[in-house]
Amino acid sequence: MSLTELAAQVQSQSQSARSLSEAALARLEAASGLKATAWCVPDAALIQADALDRLCGMQKDAGPLAGVPVAIKANIAVEGMPMDCASASLQGYKAPATARAAYLLQNAGAVLLCGANMDELAIGTTGQHSVHGATGNPLAPGHVPGGSSSGSAALVAAGVVPLALGTDSGGSVRQPAAWCGVVGAVGTWGRVSRSGVMAHASSFDRVGVLSQSVADAALAMEILSGPDSQDASAAERDLPVLLKAASSGVEGMKIGVLKQAQAMADASVWEATQATVEGLQSQGATVKVLSLPELELALPCYRVLAAVEAISNLARIDGMRFGLKAQGEGFHQALAQARSTGFGPGVKERLLLGSYLAEHSADLVEPSRRLRAFLKLALFQLLGQVDAIVMPTTPGLPLAVGQQDGGTSDAFTVLSSLAGVPSISVPIGRVQGLPVGAQVLSRLWDERSAFRLAGAMESL
């Protein structure tokens, strides 16, 4: 059942918001083995649901998401709720206010059911590095769900909630969406406010949605979009109309395919993506083969810049302002103690890398910034020739638990992140029994074309 249909039932009182929340809480308990949650306060969720039921009982408009239970990634603030970002360094910290994105969902009538597990401090691609334990993949047991928005993807894939918020710096919404067989969408950088979200790499970070259908993602993105006085990067632009676009078809659209992606992807993943492209052709789209020889440079470029930005954003977790209160003779001793105790190996590795890169900025960081500008321009030029580009979301299949790929699963998603363009990952079937996704990239502020194409891909 779609978000629109669920909300209509609550609004008409044919089903109560409380019953929806109670059923979601029961599913959450049944799926506890996934370790997909960071926090859950059932009484708080039921209080929200009861308030919505009273509103509907007075024949008041409860909003387009009336009574819909949603999950919020653990690095997105909800006032009074834990916000540990899956890190021991922030255990016990509670959010002093609600993030703009979470507020907009509540204002639309959604019930904030729980916080979703994640890779520590949004650094990771597997969902295995969290103080709350490793998140499981409900569609591929024995395989990782992807990350860092692992819990959000797993909760939607398991049917616990129909919608979840995640954050995406280099692919952290779209990659787990692909590996868990759900839809993951991010808009243009600046389309959705980031106020109240723990920053990782600020020039890349985007709030995104994970859902069971493209239409549900479109509705959620409509609700989340807009300016915010608390976030200077949240753009003041006309709000997009996306729900209708998701069912508009692709007749007359031009689709681009990057030939370099074929060489970088597993043969089975590429074949599934190519079959999807052929299906879009049968629906009236035309296909153009495009070339971006520098595609393989996108991932190392992102890694350098994200690591440098991370050391700046995580500087506040020093044992004095935020983080474990450490004892030491001076600042440096306290800092070392707080971080050695509070941070996991993945975060420590990222901080060490970022510190090294910052010390060699002229040789490593500045060239990466120039490369980012070049890749952005090259992608913009390609998107000027087509309405959107289709490529695999990830080069390979979901990793088995314990398997390593060196973080290359983000090799395709970082292209959108470097340029800040909209991107949507859509499930396109299974290969060797494992979920596979293909992603759409469209022009800046043209989420409509992305959702048109994503909706057609889903219909295949």
Return the active site residues. 73, 148, 172
Rounded to the nearest 5°, which phi and psi values hold at 441?
Answer: -120, 130
For 253-339, strand residue ranges (E) read 254-258, 286-290
User: Three-state SS for 82?
Assistant: strand
In 152-229, at which residue ranges do the beta strands (DSSP E only) sit? 163-168, 183-186, 206-211
Could you give the CA distance from residue 62 to residue 112 in angstroms, rounded to a whole number?
15
Q: Which two tokens stand for residue 379?
A: 């992608």
Residue appearing with tokens 């334990």? 133
Is there a contact between 322 and 313 (Cβ–Cβ < 8 Å)?
no
Q: Do residues 273 and 392 make contact, with C-beta atoms less than 8 angstroms apart?
A: yes
**Contact indicator for 426, 460 with CB cutoff of 8 Å:** no
**Residue 383 neighbours by CB under 8 Å, 6+ apart:** 256, 389, 421, 441, 442, 443
Strand intervals (E) in 57-195: 69-73, 111-116, 163-168, 183-186
Instruction: Give the list of residues 6+ apart from residue 260 with CB closer than 8 angstroms, or none.
Output: 291, 292, 293, 295, 296
Pairing of strands 37-40, 254-258: unpaired
User: What are the beta bridge partners of residue 388?
Assistant: 255, 442
Exposure string for 336-346, b = 16+ CB within 10 A, e = fewer: ebbbeebbbeb
Q: Residue 316: how many CB atoms within 10 A of its CB? A: 12
Phi and psi (nearest 5°) for 98? -100, 135
Q: Return the structure tokens found at 351.
A: 């901080």
Rounded CA-CA distance 174/208 in Å is: 9
CB atoms near residue 430 (< 10 Å): 14
Residue 376, both tokens: 């952005």
Is residue 303 a contact partner of residue 408, using CB atoms and an 8 Å limit?
Answer: no
CA dist., res. 378 & res. 359, Å (int): 29
Q: How far apart are CA 327 and CA 38, in angstroms?
A: 28
SS3 breakdown of the chain: % helix, strand, coil, rounded to 5?
Answer: 45, 15, 40
